[in-house]
Structure 1
């Protein structure tokens, strides 16, 4: 149920209605300095999807609790091994920061991997999970790929080349954030409330959500991709690691949005994340910091 109804007089100005038409962007993107890195990341996503998809819903799926009380499965580890083997073959000088198999410091070029973002969904049979692949070059997030095989969707971006939704550069739609500029017309997604309580900001968050048009819990990677494609306007989480965010940042920003921590510092470095369409960012920060 909606909290409030947007003013009908402003619908044309405030509602962004995405239109997706797949076409080839090979000629355009091939001019980008990091095109080869993007195509490698997309091929890595293909390989990851093959591994993770075969284990989704498997009766013999092995699940363990990590020290932080989050689950890890054999599918998480095997997917990350697959990604690391491709990097070792094609980019042997690059370092790797992964959720399951080691977090290396950057050598100037570093791949940042979350083999299965949404492991709790994966374990319970909820089809909202994805592999996240980010490339950091000299402390800048250059390439991002988010591949969700059971949502039958993929999002990707390269610095200076735009953001896209589609399986590869030859079959994709360019995506953009929304034009919504007022909180009372905005749609926001959260993953949970517990982290906000631990941070001491839950009351601030609730005050913010009272001002919105709509609040839903799409969660994890998906809420940030919905911001990038203009389907919602705000997504935020109070507790995140670098591997949760690195792939998301280029996609959100190349789609025209903003990605910061909850203090307003750009990028995925602050242990938390806020993504908006940009027009709402300062207003949301006013409530949350």
Structure 2
């Protein structure tokens, strides 16, 4: 008698995220600072390398083999598939860093089921770090450098409750100006204890670990945010868009340790 295969569990999906990240790391580490790295410009004038394209092609093929029928949304190629299960891929988050020889970049992989991110991995091989989370399973990290302990450890956001004691991480000022929120952002900047433009995935992973307390970006895409949003929330943080709507698909991001979320949103909109 034929039986329908059992649906994958969240742990099964998270395990696949790790295998996909392993495959991505092999490609990106090999192509990083390669003398024959090919770089072109996309229609929006942002750069794309042959490594971005190779990673996404490889991961799409593996997803098709292991989860046939699942949809895929990636940065470099058109969406494929339909249905409630959708993989979201950013092959290299921080492509400008990658092509300039700055080692702060990562592959972001996540699965969304019925519109909610349920499994996520962020892998930054040149930093020797990987982070992951499963819905209801917590958030974790480990060191991946050779010769270092690789036991996973659970991570949690900070308990800082006052903006005057908080550390803020961001990407740039440009988008804030374009949205008319620069004055509010500068007020937040000047109110906090410490400010650094770590940028991209790195801001959110530092937040999830409790090393910074606030991360915000005014203009950003789903593939940039899906994986990091789950890791932040499973670490105890809050992740919304600039209007306070939860989730990674609002086109902007405000992530905090939860205690600071309302004061941060108030500061950002204080000059509107």
Match of 1:133 in 2: 109
Match of 1:19 in 2: none
Cα distance in 1 for partners of 2:192, 2:211 equals 15
Cα offset, 1:106, TM superposition: 4.6
Match of 1:48 in 2: 24
Secondary structure of the corresponding residue to residue 271 of structure 1? coil
1:174 paired to 2:178: no
Q: Deviations over 1:28-63 (max 9, x none)?
A: xxxx94100000100100000000110000011000
1:245 paired to 2:221: no
1:286 paired to 2:262: no
Match of 2:147 in 1: none
- Conserved 8 A contact 2:70-2:81: no
Secondary structure of the corresponding residue to residue 191 of structure 2? coil
Q: How does 1:2-21 map to 2 (within 5 A)?
A: none
1:115 paired to 2:81: no
TM-score (norm 2): 0.92
Match of 1:124 in 2: 100
Secondary structure of the corresponding residue to residue 208 of structure 1? helix
Match of 1:82 in 2: 58
1:225 paired to 2:205: yes
1:152 paired to 2:137: no
TM-score (norm 1): 0.87
Q: Pick one of 102, 111, 122 that aligns with 2:78.
A: 102
Secondary structure of the corresponding residue to residue 211 of structure 2? coil
Cα offset, 1:146, TM superposition: 0.3
Query: May I ask how many residue pairs the two structures share in their alignment?
Result: 257
Structure 1 unpaired stretches of 5+: 1-31
Cα distance in 2 for partners of 1:208, 1:106 equals 41
The structure 1 segments of at least 4 consecutive aligned residues displaced by more than 3 Å after TM superposition are: none
Q: Pick one of 206, 210, 223 that aligns with 2:190.
A: 210
Secondary structure of the corresponding residue to residue 168 of structure 2? strand
RMSD: 1.4
1:258 paired to 2:238: yes
Cα offset, 1:269, TM superposition: 1.5
Structure 2 unpaired stretches of 5+: 1-7, 145-149
Cα distance in 1 for partners of 2:252, 2:45 equals 19
Mean alpha-carbon deviation: is it higher for 159-168 or for 185-194? Answer: 159-168
Cα distance in 2 for partners of 1:105, 1:257 equals 31
- Conserved 8 A contact 2:97-2:103: yes
Cα offset, 1:104, TM superposition: 4.0
Cα distance in 2 for partners of 1:51, 1:162 equals 28
Cα offset, 1:69, TM superposition: 1.2
- Conserved 8 A contact 2:119-2:134: yes
1:269 paired to 2:249: yes
Cα distance in 2 for partners of 1:178, 1:248 equals 16
Cα distance in 2 for partners of 1:184, 1:106 equals 46
- Conserved 8 A contact 2:90-2:109: yes
